[in-house]
Structure 1
Amino acid sequence: MKEKEILYLIEKLQLKTISTEELKRLQHLFHEASGNKALLQLMREKFDEISDSSEALKSFKQEQAIRSRLIRHIEKNSIVPKNRVRRYYWASAVVAVCLIVGFVFLTDKVTDTNGELKWTTVDTQAGERKKVTLSDGTIILLNGNTTLAYPTQMLQHIRLVKLKGEAFFDVAKNEKKPFLIVSKDFTTQVVGTSFNIDSDIGRVVEVNTGKVNVFAVPENKTIELIDMSHNTSENILSLINKTSNTHVFLLNGQKAQLNQQNSWEVSTYYYKNWFDNELVHLNEPLHQVIRKAYRNYGDSIAVHPSMVDKNITITFKNRKKEQVLNTLAELCNGKLTYNKMTNTWTITKK
């Protein structure tokens, strides 16, 4: 049982999700294991694994010195036979690693303060995609022409990112720390689920798995509420809920779109999207379809003014850029031309 508990707590330590009490428990288990050969071997293996993989440990310059002092202290003061000294060394070394990584983790984890948040930003160009993995294990796929920002240091009570553009989220489950995505016109809150957000063109949230709360609270107001929550016992989700005029709760297979009146329109979602190389357009004006095509492919696309408001309903699956644009031109009874000098596609009247 203790082996499983040690492995579980070490995994939480490496993922930076361990609490202060759990860290103390892990240290206690290490001390208890000093006479158990099997546990010492397990600890040695985990010590090697952490040493190889932990960025926190790599950046801790005194680690080698601590290990050296530990072994010298054991050799000098221990009365156990020499063939057992190495086992005690590894027990102490792993305890040291636990203390080091735990210290780095606990000091790196920011307690929410009134200070201005510092952000790490990831951008994509039109036609480019990127994958971002956060420290909690959350995976985010960025579509083209998108900006993602997350706090440089962890917050204590929430997980937070800012989004401009489109991204697919696979959020690691943590019921104690809800995950907030703030964008220009709305805020999305989840615990652990997968979903797509188009924050600027479609203003839509599409849920693949789990449950999602969406609030018509813009980015600047949500950030203001986060700052306010430092000085009140009321939590941030309660403040957002009170502020939002319109709020929807989505299940898997549903999507919500924020209309021009800032009201949510909920409908069925068919799970396929850009990350599956499938583009679904349901009664969308051509100018919006063209903006999405630019985000996906990266080439500039011009459309004759008389065509921009024509509604389009079509699905493209694994289609090349020229095939997609040719089809759009045909649907508008137009023709497609390409200028190599300016790298621009144009849909004009026939």
Structure 2
Amino acid sequence: MDQSEIYEIIGFELSGNADKHQKEVLKSWMEESESNVKAYNVLRETWESTNINLNHPNEDIQFKKVLYKINASVRPKTFVSRHFIKIAASISIILVSVWFLVYNQSEVKQLEASVSGIEKSNPAGQKSNFLLPDGTKVWLNAESKLRYSTDYGKKDRQVELVGEAFFDVKKDASKEFVVKSENFTTTALGTSFNVQAFPNEGYINVSLVEGKVRVDQYRADSAVDISSKTYLRPGEQIIYDKSKNSLKKGDFNALETTLWKDGILYFDDTPFGDIVVALERWYGVKCSVKNAPEKEVLFSGVFENENLNNVLDAMSYSEKFAHKIDGKSVIIEFK
């Protein structure tokens, strides 16, 4: 369903004007994911905060309040029915929804300012890009979250990352830009780099595209004791193997590492197991693999904004497997 349609239905629901079919559609949509429930709650809270009472005895005054809320210039000259007021109210929430869609693309969650700071996060199957208060550009991958303080940029420029993000840092010689990810920090003044640090994967990867960065590794049992410092130049990366507690520095393939932010899946002799993990994260699905061959299967390919069925079709020609997609569940069976 188109996003504008579901938010229009939410408008009618909150204004008390939704019919039975719309209520059923809304219920099904909310049951699809937790992020949909959170999106609805944000709009409901925004709606309730307008303090418009649709059953107020003086409907003419209430209608004027609604018009004021939606910045309308029309003034009622005669008595206006309560039904009209409800329709106008639904228009108001639709406009609020448009604001929500523009500033929260891909259903990025931005928490209200608080002592703990601001968080932006994406569920599986969704990516986003946005600007930090200092103008630094961020591309946030699926199953990833970024946190920063409410006074970011005033005293320092520090963010905390879980997952993967690409940063195009706004230059500021007086304040370093610092990314914290597990027991690593990556420090830069003005540069472009990628950090991959998913908690459920066995490695952490920092790849530098432009500029210069310093990557500090802290002892696992300490937040202040640095065990190593590594400086990267453009085209270099470090990979930390969690199981081996080893750090390796070398060159990297910029295409393979950064194309994700442009909506491109890139595989270059990638093990099939890693591909399954990437597809689950990219499309927000869960894959079940049957009769997987004992010999490691490698695959190469480039997919730009392709749907999952097309990707699996292309892979199946060379790898000889069948697949079935049922909602968020995917079954892959080797022949």
The residue type paired with residue 250 of structure 1 is: L
Alignment of 1:246-257 (within 5 A): 246-257=228-239
2:248 match: 265
* Separation in structure 2 between the aligned mates of residue 271 and residue 334 of structure 1, nearest angstrom: 30
Tell me: CA distance 1:317–1:178, structure 2 relative to 1, closer, same or farther (3 Å).
Answer: same
Match of 2:325 among 338, 342, 347: 338
SS of equivalent to 1:245: strand
Q: How far does residue 117 in structure 1 lie from its aligned partner after superposition? A: 6.2
* Separation in structure 2 between the aligned mates of residue 244 and residue 307 of structure 1, nearest angstrom: 43
- The answer to which structure, 1 or 2, has the higher relative contact order (CA under 8 A, 6+ apart) is 1
Q: How far does residue 173 in structure 1 lie from its aligned partner after superposition? A: 1.1
SS of equivalent to 2:134: coil
1:349 match: 334
2:275 match: 289
Q: How far does residue 157 in structure 1 lie from its aligned partner after superposition? A: 4.8
* Separation in structure 1 between the aligned mates of residue 163 and residue 219 of structure 2, nearest angstrom: 14
Q: Does structure 2 conserve the Cα–Cα contact (< 8 Å) formed by 1:186 and 1:218?
A: no
**TM-score normalised per structure 1:** 0.54
Aligned residues: 214
* Separation in structure 2 between the aligned mates of residue 129 and residue 140 of structure 1, nearest angstrom: 11
Q: Does structure 1 conserve the Cα–Cα contact (< 8 Å) formed by 2:176 and 2:188?
A: yes
Q: Does structure 1 conserve the Cα–Cα contact (< 8 Å) formed by 2:270 and 2:300?
A: no
SS of equivalent to 1:274: helix
* Separation in structure 1 between the aligned mates of residue 179 and residue 221 of structure 2, nearest angstrom: 12
The structure where strand makes up a greater share of residues is 2
The residue type paired with residue 144 of structure 1 is: A
* Separation in structure 2 between the aligned mates of residue 293 and residue 164 of structure 1, nearest angstrom: 19
* Separation in structure 1 between the aligned mates of residue 172 and residue 239 of structure 2, nearest angstrom: 26
SS of equivalent to 2:218: coil
Q: How far does residue 165 in structure 1 lie from its aligned partner after superposition? A: 1.2
2:262 match: 276
SS of equivalent to 2:267: strand
Identity score, percent: 25
* Separation in structure 1 between the aligned mates of residue 161 and residue 204 of structure 2, nearest angstrom: 12
How much is the aligned-residue C-alpha RMSD, in angstroms? 2.9
Q: Does structure 2 conserve the Cα–Cα contact (< 8 Å) formed by 1:164 and 1:199?
A: yes
Q: Does structure 1 conserve the Cα–Cα contact (< 8 Å) formed by 2:193 and 2:208?
A: yes
Q: Does structure 2 conserve the Cα–Cα contact (< 8 Å) formed by 1:337 and 1:346?
A: yes
SS of equivalent to 1:347: strand
Q: Does structure 1 conserve the Cα–Cα contact (< 8 Å) formed by 2:128 and 2:141?
A: yes
| Gapped regions of structure 2 (runs ≥ 5) | 1-113
Tell me: CA distance 1:287–1:308, structure 2 relative to 1, closer, same or farther (3 Å).
Answer: farther
Alignment of 1:13-92 (within 5 A): none
SS of equivalent to 1:203: strand
The residue type paired with residue 320 of structure 1 is: N
**TM-score normalised per structure 2:** 0.56
| Gapped regions of structure 1 (runs ≥ 5) | 1-115, 226-242
Q: How far does residue 149 in structure 1 lie from its aligned partner after superposition? A: 0.5
* Separation in structure 2 between the aligned mates of residue 275 and residue 176 of structure 1, nearest angstrom: 29
Q: Does structure 2 conserve the Cα–Cα contact (< 8 Å) formed by 1:281 and 1:312?
A: no
SS of equivalent to 2:313: helix
The residue type paired with residue 262 of structure 1 is: N
SS of equivalent to 2:194: strand
* Separation in structure 1 between the aligned mates of residue 138 and residue 230 of structure 2, nearest angstrom: 23
Alignment of 1:5-16 (within 5 A): none
Alignment of 1:161-240 (within 5 A): 161-200=159-198, 201=201, 203-217=204-218, 221=222, 224-225=223-224
* Separation in structure 2 between the aligned mates of residue 218 and residue 299 of structure 1, nearest angstrom: 35
The residue type paired with residue 207 of structure 1 is: L
Q: How far does residue 255 in structure 1 lie from its aligned partner after superposition? A: 2.2
The residue type paired with residue 214 of structure 1 is: V
Q: Does structure 1 conserve the Cα–Cα contact (< 8 Å) formed by 2:136 and 2:169?
A: yes
Higher-Rg structure is 1
* Separation in structure 1 between the aligned mates of residue 266 and residue 219 of structure 2, nearest angstrom: 26
Q: How far does residue 210 in structure 1 lie from its aligned partner after superposition? A: 0.9
The residue type paired with residue 257 of structure 1 is: I
The structure where helix makes up a greater share of residues is 1
